[in-house]
A and B are shown apart, each in its own frame.
Chain A
Amino acid sequence: MTAPHLTPRARRRAGRGAPLPLLVPALLGLAFLVLPLVALLIRTPWGDLPDQLTSPEVWQALRLSLVCATAATAVSLVLGIPLAWLLARVEFPGRGLVRALVTLPLVLPPVVGGVALLMALGRNGVVGQWLDSWFGITIPFTTAGVVLAEAFVAMPFLVISVEGTLRAADPRYEEAATTLGASRLTAFRRVTLPLIAPGIAAGAVLAWARALGEFGATITFAGNFPGRTQTMPLAVYLALQSDPEAAIALSLVLLTVSIAVLAGLRDRWMTAS
């Protein structure tokens, strides 16, 4: 029943005409996702914003967040890339199980992650008690604890992204490198790493964004001490109870960072699927 005189554009629109039972919930869903963000912008005390953002507390939390998220990303890169390589390139028994374990933190409630970290690295933890008695190292409720909590939650994003890129990369380039005299490590460093750099970059940005927003594991494992473990999300939560306007301002900062990350990943992430 398409009329032959329709322009291509009009015909495309006609073809796209969605049935109401789908259209209505779809638009509701869109509104549901967008409305809170719009509300945040509407209620932002724009006049007081400069004062809010330059207050020492905000500045302290922001700096701590950036430092910890970056450090957690670094930890994820150092440990996660070799782990991704292992999963993608080496056949070993139980590989499927290992991959499932690696992805578990993606679906695990972060609070549970925090509790688990306490059980492992807390002062009485499985490993933590030895760290404490042998080296006098205490991790929980320190900035290092924040970094570990964030890395625990963020690293799977990096591992999955890098492993996917590794699987797509032709392993014969590594073979070519070894026939030229490169050890497996050199082949990895000089051939594989450059080839999978886009996947590493995407994974690192995702991990960094995830680390920046981390709340549950951080507050459980590292506590909420201003200047030491109080990151932006923790500060937002705390501010909401005493100074809602400050909470809004802080939230706005995190929203801005998120949009920037999304824009940075636009080409790689949004158009890929």
Chain B
Amino acid sequence: MTHTGKTPPDGTVPGTAAGGTPAAEGLDAHLVVDRGAFRLDVALRAAPGDVVALLGPNGAGKTTALRALAGLVPLDGGRLGLDGRLLDRTPPESRPVGVVFQDYLLFPHLSALDNVAFGPRCHGATKAEARALAAALLERMGLADHAGAKPRKLSGGQAQRVALARALATRPRLLLLDEPLAALDARTRLDVRAQLRRHLADFEAVAVLVTHDPLDAMVLADRLVVIEHGHVVQEGTPGDVARRPRTDYIAHLVGLNLYQGRADGHTVHVDGSDDGTGTGTGPVIVTTEDLTGPVFVAFPPGAVTLHRERPAASSARNQWRCEVTGMEAHGDQIRADLTGGLRLTADLTTVAAAELGLHPGAEVWATVKAAQTHAYPA
């Protein structure tokens, strides 16, 4: 992937003026949409060449954000700048924005070719010019043979590429993709994801995609913006977000145990006492990082070891007495949910689970080495 104007590693966007005129290049948006009880309030910045994924659970406001960018939902506040132009009041048909809708919305009465030619036609191209451009785009997508096909004759993967070609045909400066892979079955999805990744890498302007699938987000995007309840809860590179989740939702997505607490050197006092000891002091996690103040601590379920008795001679400095609340097969392993000394999820082999006699309600000791935990400032 060779991009120009990539976002620097520290996550800041060059040329972004706070509050004043929008950045000369790329997307500089603050989207505020009021929907009665729900309020979307999201700041989004991206340089040309960036692929930004809006990741979040259902109802988080991702699609509303996308529709606001496209102009299909009016802004109740904030602003929308693209390449130095304010688009707040620009109607959708005048925005240099292309959209790939979740179920593609290919016009059923038009062939694939005419679907792609539709945008250029609306932008003043003659029928012949528009069709030539559409044919070239379909060729690039490997769909030259299906140019004459009506959308209902296309497979899911083909329809997705036609939808992408249609959105790209107007040469948008902002490409929006709403759950671009959600309508596909698992096998097609793999192929289409790889193709989409290539096309997005070639795209020279800003691309914003909405997804609730962390894998899609991590494969396709350079930067993740995690939205929950209408607000940005975390943003960063996929690696950064995966390593240092800041909400339970992301921790669950990337499969980490996550705790928020207060660090005092190598010791982290976890917020919210659910240890059940009645002593009033919450659980404590020992880490290798030396931090002070509010922190997150994360460790993978695989880092947890379970024992039937309290391990006498364990090098693990974190030991909690727990009760198994649930178990399920997870690949070739068993994933156990535990509560007690610390609420956590542990992965263990089927053999180990059998030897421990693990069952819901069983009491065990859970240990985690300090070196396998990861603490970072909140």
Whether, in the assembled complex, A11 has its beta carbon less than 8 Å from a beta carbon of chain B, the answer is no
* Pick from A172, A181, A190, A195: contact of B93, CB under 8 Å: A181
Bound-state Cα–Cα, A193 to B70, Å: 23
Whether, in the assembled complex, A175 has its beta carbon less than 8 Å from a beta carbon of chain B, the answer is yes
Known A175-B72, A175-B92; contact A180-B122, beta-carbon cutoff 8 A: yes
Q: A180 contacts B108, CB within 8 Å?
A: no
Known A181-B123, A190-B118; contact A176-B105, beta-carbon cutoff 8 A: yes
Whether, in the assembled complex, B287 has its beta carbon less than 8 Å from a beta carbon of chain A, the answer is no
Whether, in the assembled complex, A124 has its beta carbon less than 8 Å from a beta carbon of chain B, the answer is no
Q: Mark A165-180, 1 if CB is under 8 A from B, else 0.
A: 0000010110111111
Whether, in the assembled complex, B112 has its beta carbon less than 8 Å from a beta carbon of chain A, the answer is no
Q: B105 contacts A172, CB within 8 Å?
A: yes
Contact residues of A between 151 and 194, Cβ < 8 Å to B: 170, 172-173, 175-184, 186, 190-191, 194
With a cutoff of 8 Å between Cβ atoms, the chain A residues found around residue B70 in the complex are: 179
Bound-state Cα–Cα, A175 to B107, Å: 11
Residue ID in chain B nearest A175 by CB atoms:
B72
Q: A178 contacts B92, CB within 8 Å?
A: yes
Residue ID in chain B nearest A170 by CB atoms:
B105
How many chain-A residues does the 8 Å CB contact rule pick out? Answer: 18
Contact residues of B between 206 and 236, Cβ < 8 Å to A: none
Residue ID in chain A nearest B169 by CB atoms:
A180
Contact residues of B between 76 and 101, Cβ < 8 Å to A: 91-95, 97-99, 101
Chain B contact patch, size range = 20 to 34
Min distance, Cβ A168 to any Cβ of chain B, angstroms: 13
With a cutoff of 8 Å between Cβ atoms, the chain A residues found around residue B94 in the complex are: 181
Whether, in the assembled complex, B119 has its beta carbon less than 8 Å from a beta carbon of chain A, the answer is yes
Known A172-B101, A173-B105; contact A179-B92, beta-carbon cutoff 8 A: yes
Whether, in the assembled complex, B166 has its beta carbon less than 8 Å from a beta carbon of chain A, the answer is yes
Residue ID in chain B nearest A183 by CB atoms:
B93
Whether, in the assembled complex, B170 has its beta carbon less than 8 Å from a beta carbon of chain A, the answer is yes
Whether, in the assembled complex, B109 has its beta carbon less than 8 Å from a beta carbon of chain A, the answer is yes
Min distance, Cβ A66 to any Cβ of chain B, angstroms: 30
Known A175-B92, A191-B107; contact A180-B118, beta-carbon cutoff 8 A: yes
Min distance, Cβ A5 to any Cβ of chain B, angstroms: 46
Residue ID in chain A nearest B94 by CB atoms:
A181
Q: A181 contacts B119, CB within 8 Å?
A: yes
Residue ID in chain A nearest B103 by CB atoms:
A172
10 contacts between A and B (CB under 8 A): A172-B101, A177-B118, A179-B71, A179-B98, A180-B98, A180-B118, A180-B119, A182-B93, A183-B122, A190-B118
Given A179-B70, A180-B167, 17 additional A-B pairs, CB 8 A: A173-B105, A175-B92, A176-B99, A176-B101, A176-B107, A178-B91, A178-B92, A179-B92, A180-B119, A180-B166, A181-B119, A182-B93, A184-B93, A186-B122, A191-B107, A194-B107, A195-B109
